[in-house]
Chain A
């Protein structure tokens, strides 16, 4: 903080951050080590800090013990459906709320935002009944459907369009473009950062969600990874190293996404703060 300190290395700060950081990542490191150990090593006292030989076969074993591949595909399909759906629907609605004039706009927008103030449990049972009526239980469509419609994404996109200069649209209109062409060819392509925030938040929520898929997708081979993992430990022949391997693989895609797109993900998460 002081001028003197910025000029020389701050050992205290680095020591504190390293120790704190080590505590934060310990579970991940330990998970990785356990996933490469034998069952005996995982359950040994005192703990076996490093396996005698790395048990790589725990990873292929995951695919034999649970329908991991199916669950992975389901999770990925649901996540893609929600991200694509939200980007399109939230951008369209956000654009209308930001730039168009129509009767009842203020009330309609307030109503959409009010969704955010109601805890999710209020929606769950009727949502389940709708999915059941549609015959969508245990389908990707059923798991993805309610999450495609997002009040928060609409709010973010509206804020984004409000902050864009009007001159671009005026020019397009003079060229004879209709509102859809203006939106789709000019405004949407210029919305990269906001779209990426919506995409990242949606991907995180969708990939990691437990309660909704737990309710609507109860078949082992048609549900998501989160549900598959949560039921894995209930089986009484739990094979701990394999369970660790499965949970590590389930988290890996988002971790890679985070490490590759670190700045974008942090910005996206900072937005999620506004959800309150």
Chain B
């Protein structure tokens, strides 16, 4: 080909492909419009509606928004979600250490270690939550047994408000670690080995190399990981639901925003109010992501 095909395609754009784009896109777009585009609009409309128990809806103005401002469960749910997200974010430094150990050149058994570290990424959150519920059991759980060995009486991990949030957060950290290790490992493999050699010539030890070569070069991966970990953290539901159970008396003080959304929409059947909560979740995640994109300019190195 000795001519540039671009102008040619552009000139004939409607002629050559004809109706084919429609054939290729219609199956996806029908579903996307029905299940995604329309629901965004419907949720905004629903947020101004009041639902009666028989499924009818009527215009309610800003009623649901007013309810949101007066609802004392909301600030607590925001706080719980934020605490959970913050604890899960602590997994990133741990993942950084694991990733740098796993990606050492010529490390033996690395595939075996990968299996150990990555298994939580493929396991059903509900199923592991049931196991962790046993591990954190107040009477016979392994955690409280270990604490009793060193003379500490363990708390009610599954039924006391702050302790249960801590337990759920630890499980969240454990289950989000594999993805963090995978993403950071991919980043580490892109670090040119010459940089380490140069640092060695300058007399930098292993720790110094880690701090002044590895970490700065990984800041784009770390930043990216912080964004997705935070977004996933704000979506806390499965672990909380399965570890604590809906009948748990501590749930009112431990619930996340998404749990509150679920219980308003599908247990209280107040779908108008639940729509407002959904919009609040969108607002919080959007604001937090924007904030991180602003802050990254100060610490992320792209080059």
Contact = CB atoms under 8 A, between A and B. Distances in A.
Interface stretch (B34-42, B64-72, B82-90, B294-302): B34-42
A100 B15 CA distance: 11
A101 B10 contact: yes
Contact of A145 (B27, B35, B116): B35
Nearest to B171: A27
Q: Tell me if A's interface is mostly helix, strand, loop or mixed.
A: helix
B262 interface: yes
Given A119-B235, A229-B242, A273-B183, A21 B132 contact: no
Contacts of A163: none
Interface string A14-52: 101100111011011011001000000011111100000
Given A1-B196, A46-B145, A105-B21, 5 more contacts: A101-B17, A125-B39, A250-B124, A254-B122, A258-B119
Contacts of B179: 269, 272-273
A249 to B, nearest CB: 9
A180 B23 contact: yes
Contacts of A9: 108
B52 interface: no
Interface in A74-130: 88-90, 92-93, 95-97, 100-103, 105, 108, 111-112, 115, 117-130
A276 B231 contact: yes
Q: Tell me if B's interface is mostly helix, strand, loop or mixed.
A: helix
Interface stretch (A62-70, A147-155, A190-198): A147-155
A237 interface: no
A127 B126 contact: no
Interface residues of A, number: 102
A218 B16 CA distance: 50
Interface in B10-39: 10, 13-14, 16-17, 20-21, 23-25, 27-29, 31-32, 34-39
B128 interface: yes
B219 interface: no
B60 interface: no
B290 to A, nearest CB: 11
Contact of B174 (A24, A30, A46): A24
Given A25-B116, A125-B265, A127-B35, A210 B237 contact: yes
